[in-house]
């Protein structure tokens, strides 16, 4: 039984890592797709696509910070 507990400890951070990775990719892809859609609807070149990528990356980073980066609130 001890080997299963040791193996679980080795992989304990994998879920968090995959969650952070998928949040970043999802944010970039979603807002980037919205930028692409705006470009297509307005009939202009790729102007809003890179803006969407940058905003999506920033939004993904903010969501990750909200979930994992704020730490414990000590009440002071």
Q: Are 48 and 35 in contact, with CB atoms under 8 Å apart? A: yes
pLDDT, residue 48, reads 96
Q: Report phi then psi at 31, rounded to 5.
A: -70, -35
Q: Which of 49, 7, 45 is nearest to 32 (CA)?
A: 49
pTM across the whole model? 0.77
Helix, strand, or coil here: 72? coil
Q: Are 53 and 31 in contact, with CB atoms under 8 Å apart? A: yes
Q: Which of 26, 35, 11, 9 is nearest to 61 (CA)?
A: 26
Query: Tens-digit pLDDT profile for the chain (76 aa)?
Result: 556 666 667 777 888 899 999 999 999 999 999 999 999 999 999 999 999 999 999 999 999 999 998 776 655 5
């Amino acid at each position: 039984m001890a080997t299963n507990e040791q193996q679980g400890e080795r992989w304990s951070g994998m879920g968090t890592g995959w969650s952070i990775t998928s949040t970043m990719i999802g944010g970039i892809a979603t807002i980037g797709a919205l930028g692409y859609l705006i470009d297509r609807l307005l009939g202009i070149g790729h102007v809003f696509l890179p803006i969407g990528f940058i905003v999506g990356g920033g939004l993904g980073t903010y969501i990750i910070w909200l979930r994992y980066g704020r730490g414990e609130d000590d009440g002071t």
